[in-house]
Structure 1
Amino acid sequence: MSSAVARLRPEDDALVERHLAHLRVERRLAPTTLRSVGASLDRLQGFAAAQSLALAQVQGHHVRRWAATLHGEGAAPRTVAIALSAWRGLYRWMGREKLVAANPADGIRAPKAPKPLPKALAVDQAMALADLRREDAAAEPRLEARDRCIVELLYGCGLRVAELCALDARPAGDRPCWIDAAAGEAHLVGKGSKARSVPVGAAALRALEAWLALREALARPGEPALFVNRRGTRLSASQVRTRLAERAQQAGLPTHVHPHMLRHSYASHLLQSSGDLRAVQELLGHASISTTQVYTRLDFQHLAKTYDAAHPRAKRR
């Protein structure tokens, strides 16, 4: 507790120390969590003391205003939520101790955090990753052909990593997941067991042809999976992530690349070129167009950067 607060309300300071002791001894909270709770309660005492209020006199409108003050001072929504949780916990404990009749922090929520934009590669970065050709001694031809095909399908078709790993080399079952090279289509089963078909571009078809020519030498007899690992069994999502991250490093990309980033890049680059939100929704297999609309924000960011870099009136003073 700060010394200024302690001088103003020593009885509240002692009350908070009792609560923290309860959390430490009975709830066995970790030291880092206790420090976070202590800092939040220190701030609560500061707010209350500034209005000459004892902690037991605090009402809901006070808590709401103080939470808004924290946010107005630049605290992130998560930080405000952590503070409110600590305040709520204190008053819950005070209620059990018969020190307050009601919890003034109940029902008060932190401001919503904006949803982070999906991360997408720039076009030149995606092309550098797709065009990478490893010729070093460590690049086994079969795995190199497989990995090139994986990148082409993730970026060229916008597949989810689970959809990619579920692909079979040839159609099987009632709802086959496979690539019809002759028709240039990938038949998928996505989230919610929703089937869809997406076009496969020329570059991906060439990469698929090169991989299929080598696949039989790696796959175990009878293995249906299109993509197999060194043991000849179906490639897992974690293995795809690892191989993709390594490949991005080899391509000299300055960011961590994961499969979903290539899906984001696919959607963003399609939208930049076509502007057809409904078509992108269908290609991604989104049930709601609101899910797809996030890519319009990425598209706007791209346009804003172009404007800032190119327009003579965009320069900041």
Structure 2
Amino acid sequence: MDRWQAMRIFVKVAETASFSESARQLHMSAPAVTRSVAALEDAIGARLFVRTTRSVKLTEAGDRYFDDCRRILSDILEAEAAAAGSYATPSGTLAVTASLLFGQMYVLPIVTDYLDAYPTMAARTLFLDRQVNIVEEGIDVAVRIGHLPDSGFTAVKVGSVRRVVCGAPSYFEKHGVPTTPQQLKDHRIAASTSAWASPEWRFAREQRVTVHPSLQCNTNEAVISAAAAGWGLTRVLHYQIGPALLDGRLQVVLSDDEEPPLPIHVVYAEGRQAPAKVRTFVDAAVTALRANRLLN
């Protein structure tokens, strides 16, 4: 008995819950499928299916064996793909995650450029302001901001971000420029209640200022808009105001009092051998992010 072929037939029967449908999909005769499953049951000494005239269901032993067979067959296909060279050419769907605004502003253009370079590829993005579990959520590549915990993942540093206080030139003309963190108490503050937000703003040399915002918004985009309109000051990660800094709508103040910057890493689970879709995307992402002067 060809054990690999028998396992393949068994998995198909389990997936379709039908001997006849499995035979059709595998281009085999129904009796041949039945004989193969019976021989497999004899070989392992356990009944794999409960068969009736109307249904085919896995036994408890069959259910456990089904999971093992799928894993084994997947490993075999992976090994064959590597030997055949598919690990040298990007293929399949690439899953990428990053924080919401960073992903939209800086990662999405890299993804679309990557798809232009590899037209047969597809991509799925997951941009959220929460830590995504790379393994459980099927992610190939993550772009992380902040210090990383110890893990078995590969991480490549590509830049850094700063927490900055900013405002519009029109605001500073009317209300002056704060020169110390303590002077923020004399200014109107717009603060975000989203990720990274805290009423205590920390600065270099262990300086801490508790702010009392006149305006609280649940998104960073909203407080950035308020600051750019000249309403007041806000504090965000500097990549979030990149376009506004470049065109002069916002200016950073208190630069000498900023905390140390947070690192940015491209992270991926290398496994036995990272497939081509991961390697090529990581190369593209590392190059693009390191070249972005707003992130360095």
Q: TM-score, normalised by structure 2?
A: 0.25
Larger relative helix fraction: 1
- Higher RCO by CA contacts (8 Å cutoff, separation 6 or greater): 2
Larger relative strand fraction: 2
